[in-house]
Amino acid sequence: MGALKNIILVENNFLLRSGIEGLILELPGLLLKEVFDGKEKNLYRKLINKKPDVIIIDPNALGHNFISIISKLQEEAGIMLIGLLGSDCPENISSRFKNHLPLEGNKHLLLQKLREACGKDAVYPTNKKTQADSRLLSAREIDILREVVKGLTNQDIADNLFLSIHTVMTHRKNISRKLSIKTVSGLMVYALMNNIVDINEMG
């Protein structure tokens, strides 16, 4: 279980908010990073700035801003959107979400849905192979890491390794996820510790 998933919740109803927080606490591997009540100014920016893996949204919390915010979020690759939806939720709203948490569900069902939506591997590694895969850096990721800790930009790394900048970013995201290390200087410590780079290579 190398993958700590960052979750953001958008919910204005106190009881629901507390309930969801309780569910998230039950699943190791999930981390509730922040809760918004949906009425914040520039909410879309604030959500994106937190770099979440998953956003759980109650459409009611967004009110009439729902469509504008959800449309922008849908275009963000790499963010899983989960709708907190009642059974009476109209199709044009529910269809915006790939994953649903049904308001009427019992605890078991809700935990299961949440686990599925966040990726089972994040919560329970399914077998030994995926466990190793989700923990160890691949050879390519180690190449990227070596470049990152030299202080190179994504563009430089892409040029040096003949990759697209998008691929570099995906690799970087996976590296941080596997290691639970987010900053370049943290990665540098990891790389030095594991002899991936030599102290003399550092500027």
Q: Are strands 99-102 and 54-57 parallel, antiparallel or unpaired?
A: unpaired
CA 38 – CA 70 distance, rounded (Å): 12
**DSSP alpha helices (H): ranges in the chain?**
14-26, 43-49, 59-62, 66-74, 91-94, 107-118, 120-123, 128-133, 139-148, 154-161, 165-179, 184-193
Q: Given the complex with other proteins, which of 84 and 149 has the nearer CB atom?
A: 149
Contact code string over 39-78 relative to other proteins, x by CB under 8 A: ----------x-----------------------------
Q: Is 19 in the site for other proteins (CB under 8 A)?
A: no
Contact code string over 123-162 relative to other proteins, x by CB under 8 A: ----------------------------------------
CA 6 – CA 1 distance, rounded (Å): 14
- Identity at 183, one-letter amino acid code: T
Span interacting with other proteins, options 57-65, 144-152, 158-166, 177-185, rule CB under 8 A = 177-185
Q: Is 192 in the site for other proteins (CB under 8 A)?
A: yes
| Nearest Cα residue to 133 out of 144, 122, 118 | 122
Q: Is 183 in the site for other proteins (CB under 8 A)?
A: yes
Residues written for the chain: 203
Q: Given the complex with other proteins, which of 14 and 162 has the nearer CB atom?
A: 14
Q: Is 15 in the site for other proteins (CB under 8 A)?
A: no
In the complex, least distance from residue 182 CB atom to other proteins, rounded to whole angstroms: 4
Span interacting with other proteins, options 70-78, 95-103, 122-130, 183-191, rule CB under 8 A = 183-191
What is the DSSP secondary structure assignment for residue 151, as one 8-state letter?
T
Of these, 124, 185, 201, 202, which contacts other proteins (CB under 8 A)?
Answer: 185
What is the DSSP secondary structure assignment for residue 37, as one 8-state letter?
-
Q: Given the complex with other proteins, which of 79 and 179 has the nearer CB atom?
A: 179
Q: How far from 191 is each of 1, 3, 186, CA to CA, in Å? A: 21, 19, 9
Binding residues for other proteins, rule: CB under 8 A, are 14, 49, 179-183, 185-186, 189-190, 192-193
